[in-house]
Structure 1
Amino acid sequence: MTAEPRPLVCLPFAGSGAGFYRAWSRRPGHGVPVVPVQLPGREELFSEEPFTDVADAAASLAPRVAELIAGAPQFAIFGHSLGAVLSYEIARELRRLGRPGLAHLYVSGSPGPWTGRDDRATGLGDEEFLKRVQEFAGYRHAAFDDPSLRELLLPALRADVAMHENYKPSSNEPLDVPVTSLRGADDALVTAREAREWRKITWGPFSYRELPGGHMYLADAPDVLLRALARD
C-alpha cells in the first residue's frame, strides 16, 4: 500500500501571503498536499495588524498550524527567507506544545538563524526602502510601482522586513527532526556556506540542496522545487 503524502505547511517570505503557495496547489503532477499559512496584514487578513516579532508570530501561528494539519500523522514545514526563520521557530513552538508529527523541516533561501544581515532596510524612506529590499530579494513586485497599491502593501512589507532584521533565535537547543536547507544555485544574497549553517539546528539528519535559479528560484521555477519535495 502506498503511503499518503505528507502535508507541506508553507510559510510566506517577506511581503507575500498564502496566495503565493495556493497557486502551488493548482499546479499538476507533483502530488504534494500544500497547506499555506496566512499572516495578518495581507490578503483576507488585510485588516489585521502584521506581526513585528518572530517569537510572537511563532507563538500565535503554531496552534494554527496544528489545526491545519489535524488528522495528519506526519507533516513537513517549508519556509523561504523570512519564512525559514518563522518555520524554525514554529517547529520549536510545536515541540514545546507537545504536538507530534513533524517529519521534516525545509528552510530555503536563508542563512542559519544566528547570522544576521549587515545592510538593513528598516527605517529608510519608502523609495530607498524598496530599493534596498529589491537588492536583498533580487526582484521588485510590480504592485509597488502603483502609488495606491504601494500605500496598501508597504505596512506589511515594512513589518516583515523589520521582524526579519531584528530576529534572534529563541534557543540554541537543537531540534530532533530531519532538516533540509535549500538554496538557488545563483543566489547572490545567501551563500552556500551560510545556507549550510542550518546543520547546527538539529540532532537529526541534515541535507543541503541547490536548485536552479537565484534567490527567488521558487517563484521562477516552482515545479522543479515541488518535484524535489515530492521525491522526499
Structure 2
Amino acid sequence: MVTQKLFLACLPFAGGGAAFFREWEKTDIPKVTVLPVQLPGREERFLDEPFTQVSDAVAELTPKIVSAAGEGAAIALFGHSLGAVLAYEIARELERTGHPGLRHLFVSGSPAPHDGRTERATGLPDEEFLAGVQRFAGYRHEAFDDPDMVEVLLPTLRADVEMHENYRATGTEPLSVPVTALRGEHDELVSREQAEQWAEVTRGPFTYQELPGGHMYLVDEAERVLRTVAGSPACD
C-alpha cells in the first residue's frame, strides 16, 4: 500500500514568519511535506496590512492552505502559541466546509483555546510592550536589540499580539480529527495541565507529548517535531 504524503501547514508564533518553518523544509522526513504559511506584514508580505482579528486570518489563510496542498491532499495543521489558535480555527473551518483532507491538528506551546489570555501587552508603550512580549514568549529576538529593526517590526508584532489577546474561540463543538498537544518540558508559560485541556476540543483521539526545552523548544527540536508528525496516524 502506498502511503499518501502529508502536507503539514505550519502557522507561526507572534512576530514570526514563514522563514522559520522554511528551515524545517531542510529536514529529511519523507512522509511529511512542510508547508510554511505566511502571514501579512512580514518578509515577502511586508507591505500587506497585518491581521488583528483571528477571523480575518482564517478567512484568508484557509483557502490558501488548501490550494497550496492541492486537490485531495492530506493536510495536517501545526501552530505554536498564536499559531496554535490559528491552526485550531482553520481546522474548525475545514471541518465546517467539509474538506475531506484534514487529518490531524498539532498544537504547541498554548493553553486550550477557551482559556483566553489574562495578562495583556496591547496598548503599552514600546519598551513595556516589548518587555511584556518577552515575558509571554519566553525569549527575546535579537532583532529587538536594534532600534531600527524595532521600528520596522513593531507594528506587525503589535498586530499579532492584539490578535492573540483579543481572540475568543468561535464555538464549542468539538472537532472530529485527532489532536496532539506539544509542550517543552520546562515551559514556564504553559503548564502541562493547560496543554492537556486541548483534549476537550476533539471527539477523536488526543495525545500529549513533551519535548526537551522551554516554551520555544521548537527552535532546537524541529526534527523531533516532524518525527512526531510522521509517527502519528495522520501519516498512516
| TM norm. shorter chain > 0.5 | yes
Corresponding position of 2:207? 207
Distance, in Å, in 1 between the alignment partners of 2:38 and 2:73 is 22
Corresponding position of 2:167? 167
Corresponding position of 1:47? 47
Q: Tell me the TM-score normalised to structure 2 length.
A: 0.94
Corresponding position of 2:138? 138
Q: Which amino acid aligns with 2:115?
A: T
Counterpart contact for 1:30–1:226, Cα < 8 Å: no
Corresponding position of 2:9? 9
Deviates more, 1:110-119 or 1:155-164: 110-119
CA-CA distance at 1:221 after TM superposition: 2.1
Distance, in Å, in 2 between the alignment partners of 1:101 and 1:40 is 25
Q: Which amino acid aligns with 2:84?
A: A
Per-residue CA deviation, residues 91-110 of structure 1 (Å, 9 max, x unaligned), is 11122222211010001100
Q: Tell me the TM-score normalised to structure 1 length.
A: 0.96
Distance, in Å, in 2 between the alignment partners of 1:224 and 1:37 is 20
Distance, in Å, in 1 between the alignment partners of 2:212 and 2:144 is 27
Distance, in Å, in 1 between the alignment partners of 2:16 and 2:30 is 23
Per-residue CA deviation, residues 132-176 of structure 1 (Å, 9 max, x unaligned), is 111111111111111111111111111001110110001111110
Q: Which amino acid aligns with 1:117?
A: R
Across the two proteins, how many residue pairs are aligned to each other?
232
Distance, in Å, in 2 between the alignment partners of 1:47 and 1:14 is 17
1:1-232 counterparts in 2 under 5 A?
1-29=1-29, 31-232=31-232
Distance, in Å, in 1 between the alignment partners of 2:207 and 2:119 is 28
CA-CA distance at 1:5 after TM superposition: 2.9
Give the secondary structure class of the aligned counterpart of 1:173.
coil
Q: Which amino acid aligns with 2:65?
A: V
Give the secondary structure class of the aligned counterpart of 2:23.
helix
**Runs in 1 of length 4+ with deviation above 6 angstroms?**
none
Q: Which amino acid aligns with 2:228?
A: A
Counterpart contact for 2:29–2:230, Cα < 8 Å: no
Structure 1 unaligned residues grouped into runs of 5+: none
Counterpart contact for 2:54–2:163, Cα < 8 Å: yes
